[in-house]
Amino acid sequence: MWTNIHARVHQTLKDSCILPHKSNLLIAVSGGQDSLCLLKIMIDLQEKWGWNIAIAHCDHGWASDLGIADHVEKIANNWNIPFYLKVAKAMKETEAAAREWRYQSLVEIAEENDCREIVTGHTLSDRSETLLYNLIRGAGSNGLGALTWKRPLTNNINLVRPLLKVSRGETLEFCQQFALPIWEDAANANLDYARNRIRQELVPYLKENFNPNVETTLSQTSEVLKAESDYLEAEANKILLSAVNDHNSKLNREVLKGVPLALQRRVIRQFLAKIMVSKPNFEQIEETVNLIDAPRKSRTSSFPGKIMLEVEENYIVQKRTK
């Protein structure tokens, strides 16, 4: 039986072409409501799309993960789907370390089993929470449009998120409707994690006091910002290529002078990303943008290590301090 969610996901896949017909899909299943909903939908759409489906699970090896891998394996066996497991050894208990290891493990499983598409259960709710999380940390429109439908993980393997128009409330209802055995992850209750506080405290507060549809509107904002930032990044890159020299050591200010500030900032950020080890911060970008119209010999002072930029005639030149 197809539900409204099946029909919406099917339509999204038809419109967006994010998942090719007849491909091998590796579904990343955590055991939670989102990935179980995803798994059932992919199985139900499988015949229409000619996919081969396999399940991947990543066990962090933490005490709180005990039992999840067996639970997911049982689901795979019940549905007669190949199951692949990676288990971490002595992994740090941080969100960032866990995420990095998970994506690396998923790529390994995909490579070992000839899958080009890794599919995750990220929802519209995750997208709105990611926007809030990145906004609070000071991201620009690149970061606010971060959770996308498809992105490459390697030259051959993509991460695909077909549920970005489905909310977490809907995935729960879906699992209840089909009696799917959701694993309640204890880590989701841990309010030490910023993301859990956004999900459990901030979003409900915004829904109740500002906008009951805040998840949908933020998710749409993220979609719009993604398209705008992709466009601006591409334009900025063209300008950078015409302003920078072969060694990435100097920028022609004359090329940048007539350009709108929104693009100047992006060109400078892309330039700094080439010459710095760490990501350039807001002050460093602003200081460098100011050099575009500054008098000769003006220089930066906010860079780490020995990096310094100085105006020499028509150029902003990278120099080493002593």
Ligand X SMILES: Nc1ncnc2c1ncn2[C@@H]1O[C@H](COP(=O)(O)OP(=O)(O)OP(=O)(O)O)[C@@H](O)[C@H]1O
CB of 285 to ligand X, least distance (A): 25
Contact 33, 172 (CB under 8 A): yes
Contact call for residue 122 and ligand X (CB under 6 A): yes
CA geometry: angle at 19 spanning 14 and 20, to 5°? Answer: 90
Contact call for residue 28 and ligand X (CB under 6 A): yes
Q: Give the residue at shortest CB distance from ligand X.
A: 121
- Kind of pairing, strands 158-160 and 117-119? parallel
Contact 276, 307 (CB under 8 A): yes
Phi, psi of 315 (to 5 degrees): -120, 150
| Binders of ligand X in range 42-61 (CB under 6 A) | 56-58
* CA distances for 93 relative to 51, 56, 88, 96, 194, angstroms: 35, 21, 11, 9, 14
CB of 254 to ligand X, least distance (A): 42
Contact 11, 48 (CB under 8 A): no
SS3 159: strand
CB of 147 to ligand X, least distance (A): 6
Contact call for residue 30 and ligand X (CB under 6 A): yes
Contact call for residue 29 and ligand X (CB under 6 A): yes
In the list 40, 102, 226, 269, the residue contacting ligand X (rule: CB under 6 A) is: 102
Contact call for residue 125 and ligand X (CB under 6 A): no
Segment interacting with ligand X, rule: CB under 6 A, options 8-16, 18-26, 29-37, 269-277: 29-37
Q: Which is nearer to ligand X, 30 or 284 (CB)?
A: 30
Residues of the shown chain interacting with ligand X in the complex, contacts defined by CB under 6 A: 28-30, 34-35, 56-58, 99, 102, 120-122, 126, 130, 147
